[in-house]
Amino acid sequence: MPRDVLLRPAVPADEPFLLTMLFYAAHAHDEPGRRPEDLLADPKLAAYVTGFGQRPGADLGVIAEIDGGPIGAAWVRVLAGDARAYGWVDDAIPELAIAVLPGVVASGVGTRMLTELIDRARGLFPGVSLSVRSDNPARRLYERLGFTSVAEVVNRVGGRSETMVLRFGA
């Protein structure tokens, strides 16, 4: 893991960085010509970032930084009813998005962010859910932290994804 990584709470001013992280989390960087702002045209993707932090009790996140610069983010949002997105399980369980900058992949920063986020979410929510491509190596991390697969779906680009959930005990 890179040295001197600081984790801090995500705040509304982080929304542009969250959009960049969503670009990587959604694998849009693998699509030629795509830019982070293009994701806002997809209501299900936009739901993960638009207005982040402006709904008390519905948004929670952590930002990883080195020397004051963000390198990764993990965040959850309660996305209920028509606002639900790709990792929806039920209206009370927030959906997770997580990513790090390409140069930080496989460094342990993602594990550290996700562990911290889960610790902060415990007691606030009944669990956390997510959507992950079936062939994504991060799937093993989610399983190691206790997430279980509850559905397999066709994702936005026609591949296979799994909806996973980590339910917190009483």
What pTM did the predictor assign? Answer: 0.91
- pLDDT digits 0-9 by tens, 104-160: 777 889 999 999 999 999 989 999 999 998 778 888 999 999 999 998 877 666 678
Q: Which domains does the chain have, with CATH numbers?
A: 5-125 (3.40.630.30)
pLDDT band at 3 (very low <50, low <70, confident <90, very high): low
**d(C-alpha 5, C-alpha 8), whole Å:** 10
In the chain, which residue ranges form alpha helices assigned H by DSSP? 15-25, 43-46, 109-121, 138-144
Which residue did the predictor score with more confidence, 103 or 147?
A: 147
